[in-house]
Amino acid sequence: MGYVQAIIAAGALAYSIVQGERGARAQRQAQRRQDEAQAEAQNLASAEQRTAEAGLRRQNAKKPNIAALLEQSRQSAATGAQSTFLSKPGTTPLGG
């Protein structure tokens, strides 16, 4: 009967080893899938950030500085070749 118990113990040990190897393999596969998912998420986040930055650059490039353009126009109208009596500061059409 001692042989039967030894065989059962050896079988249980072998089963434990096989199950341990299966668990370790499954854990490695899960870690690999997690690493791949994290890398993909980082790539998507980087791509979204680049897209957002490009959109902001396009928006900023399309916004003219209206205040500066109006000031430049006012100054050139008051002093340039296009200035008239009416466009100069401090003058009135009837001298008053």
* pLDDT tens profile 26-61: 999 999 999 999 999 999 999 999 999 998 888 877
pTM (global) more than 0.85: no
Tokens of 16: 């434990």
Q: How deeply is 87 buried, as exposed, middle or buried, from its count of CB atoms within 10 A (0-12, 13-18, 19+)?
A: middle
- Residue 76: partners with Cβ closer than 8 Å, 6 or more residues away: 82
User: Where do we find the tokens 């791949």?
Assistant: 36
Tokens of 70: 């109006």
CA distances from 71 to 20, 42, 78 (A): 79, 46, 11
